[in-house]
Chains A and B, each alone.
Chain A
Amino acid sequence: MSLWEKGKEFSDNSEHRLDSESQDLILDQNLDEALRNFKLSVDAWSETAYSTRRVAPSIPHRNWRPAAAWALGCALVASSVSGSVYQRHERQLEAKQAAAKLAAQQKQAADLKAADEEDLLASVDSEVSRQVPSAMEPLAQMAEDESK
């Protein structure tokens, strides 16, 4: 077989193959209808999805919820922490005030006690000092007589 004949045979076979492929593409009625319905279905879905997203996008709604939940959670945590800190501060303040009051009372009691002791000592002193000079009176008399 010559090179030309081989080439022609190849070309004929290629044409034949392409023809059979082309024949495959000739759609029967059922297939044609199915493909038409498929296109209509995709068009309807796409148009709805596209217009829904363009007019009223659903993503921001979805994103809004976790953000709000986070904000609410943070607010709750912050309020509970600040509440407990405030309570602790109040308790510390009350304890300080009670301690100061107790200290003042104790000081007052101590002052009173000290004042009582001083009074007692003063009265003892005065009584003792009145007795001592009378015991020394004869000596003082003698001194006066000698000077005369």
Chain B
Amino acid sequence: MAAGSILETMNKATAAEIAADEFARVVAQHRPQIFRFLLASTRDVDLAETLTQECFLKAHRNWSSFRGDSSAMTWLMRIAINLQKDHWRNRRMRFWRSTQTHAVDLDEASEWLPSGATSAEQQMLAKEQVRHVWKAMEGLSERQRSVFLLRYIEERELSEIAEITGLSQGTVKAHLSRAVGRVRTELGRRQ
């Protein structure tokens, strides 16, 4: 009986260690992606970092309840989207919303380009395009923006986006279509 309980305790400890290792691996693997998605959503490095930390904290608390029905990435992305939604909802309650934002402006956000671009003219063109996409994103609803980023930044399949956002594939398609339409319109203004 006593030997049995010791064995049970040891099994539990081993299971906890395995779960901790597994979670650490998930963090290492997906943290940069969650941060990138939140950064693109908010254009605020501090906020993206805070929300990423909150996301993994929440994931850690609920790790035991994660059954693996969906991928860990899908599960984490769903948490991140909900946190972001909560954050904006809470912010709407404050008057100093606009004064407290640390989001960078469009020009600053468009400055980031990989060094691969060849000529100065091409770089200018690329920056201009990026600026127009950011501008178009400003006019999107929260949901449209999330869907757009999941598709074109995170390169997720429509079925996966539907799973993350809890929407049907048809609705995801419609949101994506509107978002892309807006980007196209914005790019059309440039020409």
Contact = CB atoms under 8 A, between A and B. Distances in A.
Given A45-B109, A48-B112, A50-B32, A24 B40 contact: no
A43 B36 CA distance: 7
Given A41-B112, A42-B112, A45-B39, A31 B187 contact: yes
Interface in B170-191: 170, 173-174, 176-177, 180-181, 183-184, 187, 191
A115 B106 CA distance: 102
B114 interface: yes
B187 A38 contact: no
A53 B49 CA distance: 9
B35 A46 contact: yes
A31 B183 contact: yes
Interface residues of B, number: 34
B146 to A, nearest CB: 14
A30 B170 CA distance: 26
Interface of A: 18, 21-22, 24-25, 27-28, 30-31, 33-35, 37-50, 53
Interface of B: 32, 35-36, 39-40, 45, 48-49, 109-110, 112-114, 116, 126, 129-130, 132-134, 152-153, 155, 170, 173-174, 176-177, 180-181, 183-184, 187, 191
The 9 closest A-B pairs by CB, nearest first: A45-B112, A46-B36, A34-B129, A38-B133, A37-B126, A24-B177, A21-B177, A41-B130, A44-B112
